[in-house]
Amino acid sequence: MNILKIRGLMAEQMITQRAMAEMLGISLSSFHRKLKSGGNRFTLEELVKMKEALHLSDEEASEIFFD
């Protein structure tokens, strides 16, 4: 998972980590831990929600989440 790309997209769209965590239905600390793990701990449901929140196409999501 390309964590730097996710952070960049969040910054471009002015989505805070707290807001993203809320969109995913997880705590801010859980979101931080999942980012630190290189994204390996996000569930498929969370990835789908993140894709929607960041307005990614299927191709973009695949490149970012499964690089």
pLDDT at 39: 74
* In the block, residue with structure tokens 């390996």: 40
Q: Are 47 and 15 in contact (CB under 8 A)?
A: no
pLDDT at 19: 98
Tell me what pLDDT residue 57 has: 97
Phi-psi region of 48 (alpha: psi -120 to 50; beta: other; left: phi over 0): alpha
* Ordered domains of the chain (ranges, CATH): 3-65 (1.10.260.40)
pLDDT in tens, 5-48: 999 999 999 999 999 999 999 999 999 999 998 777 899 999 99
Q: Write down the pLDDT at residue 43.
A: 94
Q: Does the pLDDT at position 67 exceed 80?
A: no
What is this structure's pTM?
A: 0.88
Q: 4 — alpha (psi -120 to 50), left (phi > 0) or beta?
A: alpha
- Spatial neighbors of 44 by CB under 8 A, at least 6 apart, are none
